[in-house]
Amino acid sequence: STAYKNNPAVANFVEYLRIPSVQPNIDYDECVKFLKRQANEIGLDFKVYEVVPQKPIVVLTWKGKEPTLPAILLNSHMDVVPVFENSWTYPPFSGHIDEDGKIFARGSQDMKCVGIQYLEAIRKIKQAGLQLKRTLHISFVPDEEIGGHDGMEKFVLTNEFKALNIGFALDEGMANPTDEFIIFNGERSIWQMHIHCTGQ
Amino acid sequence: KLDKSNPYWVAFKGVCDELELKLDCRIFPGGTDSRYVRRVGIPAIGFSPMNNTPVLLHDHDEFLRADIYLRGIEIYEKLIPAVANV
Cβ burial, residue A44 (10 Å; 0-12/13-18/19+): buried
Specify whether the CB–CB gap between A97 and B55 falls below 8 A.
no
Three-state DSSP class for residue B77:
helix
Q: What is the C-alpha separation between A24 and A31, in angstroms, rounded?
A: 15
CB contact under 8 A, B62 and A176: no
Using an 8 Å CB-CB cutoff, list chain B residues near A102.
Answer: 63-66
B29 with A74: CB under 8 angstroms? no
For this structure, is A79 an active site residue? yes
The DSSP secondary-structure symbol of A80 reads: B
Residue of A110, A120, A143, A144 marked catalytic: A144
3-state SS class at A156: coil
Whether residue A88 and residue B60 make contact (CB cut-off 8 A), yes or no, is: yes
CB–CB contact B8 A168 (8 Å):
yes
A156 vs B1, B36, B58: nearest CB: B36
Phi then psi dihedrals of residue A20, to 5 deg: -80, 70
Interface confidence (ipTM) of the complex: 0.95
**Strand-by-strand arrangement of the A96-97 sheet:** A96-97, A102-104, B63-65
Whole-angstrom distance, CA of residue A83 vs CA of residue A63: 38
A15 is an active site residue: no
Instruction: Tell me which residues of chain A, numbers 83 to 142, contact chain B at a CB-CB cutoff of 8 Å.
Output: 83-84, 87-90, 92, 97, 100-111, 113-114, 117-118, 120-122, 124-125, 130, 132-136, 141
Q: Is the dihedral of CA A88, A93, A98, A102 positive or negative?
A: positive
Q: Express each pLDDT in B29-86 by its tens digit.
A: 767 899 999 999 999 999 999 999 999 999 999 999 999 999 999 999 999 999 999 9
Q: How confident is the model over A111-135, as pLDDT tens digits?
A: 999 999 999 999 999 999 999 999 9
pLDDT 10s digits, A37-86: 999 999 999 999 999 999 999 999 999 999 999 999 999 999 999 999 99
Q: Given A173, A186, A187, which is nearest B48 (Cβ)?
A: A173
